[in-house]
């Protein structure tokens, strides 16, 4: 597996966060793991929870916070 630099990861997170901040109506926050997912999702792909927050202001704040830190979530694919 190819290693990705921490700078590249943070830049990628910032790019995704910017997309979310510009279009918060297309996203929601998983109540189970605080991940931001597409609004059309009915089950969180990370933790499999099914409860979400749709407040656009909270989505913007969460995206900005996630953009400025390294990932901490354990993803389903990490369990293999």
* pTM tops 0.95: no
pLDDT digits (tens, 9 = 90+) for 69-80: 766 655 555 555
Of all helices (H) and strands (E), which one includes residue 29?
A: strand 27-30
For residue 37, give both structure tokens: 């997912």
CB proximity list for 32: less than 8 A, separation 6 or greater: 44, 47, 48, 49, 51
Half-sphere exposure of 58 (CA within 13 A, CB side): 11
Phi, psi (deg, nearest 5) at residue 16:
-65, -40
- What pLDDT is recorded for position 6? 64
- Indicate the domain borders of the chain: 26-71
- Other Cβ atoms less than 10 A from the Cβ of 9: the count is 12
């Amino acid at each position: 597996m190819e290693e990705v630099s921490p700078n590249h990861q943070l830049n990628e997170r910032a790019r995704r966060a910017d997309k979310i901040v510009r279009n918060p109506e297309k996203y929601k926050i998983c109540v189970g793991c605080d991940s931001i997912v597409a609004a059309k999702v009915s089950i969180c792909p990370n933790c499999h929870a099914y409860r979400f927050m749709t407040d656009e202001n909270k989505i913007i704040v969460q995206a900005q916070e996630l953009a400025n830190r390294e990932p901490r979530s354990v993803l389903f694919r990490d369990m293999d």
